[in-house]
Amino acid sequence: MDADAIARIEAALITLVRRANDPRGNRVINRTAGVDIDRAASVMLARVEELEPARLSELAGAAGVDTSTASRQVARLVDDGLVVRACDPTDGRATAHRLSDMGRATRRKLDSARRSWFEDVLAGHGEAEREQLAVLLERFIENIPNDA
């Protein structure tokens, strides 16, 4: 293997993850979207949409947090009117979570703002380069074990 290329890829991915997790980037997306939601809440909102109707334990696992952390995050989303709780359709004793209409609208605004940010970042790259990057990233992600 080409050690230099591996090291450059590693460094680039570390920088990418660091920048993606930077609260300043979240503020830019929020400002563009016209919403005010912290990064953790934004992540949890996305997990609710992906899994709905979702139990708290499913949301915690999908977000990579413990159940008590997920409980606090979801409770805040419920209080803010972005998520609603209801009886789980498969088990009436359990609670399931869904996006409210406002939560769904917030997700659309955030998605649109994020897409606009990506368009700006990729503006200097031609169509062929963007396609090549998409293919390489998809292939790279396919090789990452789910338990990593």
- The span from the CA of 48 to the CA of 44, in Å, is 6
Q: What is the pLDDT of residue 20?
A: 80
| Structural domain of 77 | 3-142
Domain count, the chain: 1
* Stated pTM of the model: 0.82
Whether 147 is in a domain gets the answer: no
Q: What is the mean pLDDT of the chain?
A: 91
Summarised one tens digit per residue, pLDDT across range 106-134 is 999 999 999 999 999 999 999 999 999 99
Q: What pLDDT digit, counting tens, does each position of 7-51 carry?
A: 999 999 999 888 887 888 888 899 999 999 998 899 999 999 999
Whether 21 is in a domain gets the answer: yes
Q: Which residues contact 122 (CB under 8 A, 6 or more apart)?
A: 130, 133
Residue 108 maps to which CATH number?
A: 1.10.10.10
Q: Is residue 148 part of a domain?
A: no
The answer to whether position 100 is within a domain reads: yes
**Other CB atoms within 10 A of residue 119 CB:** 10
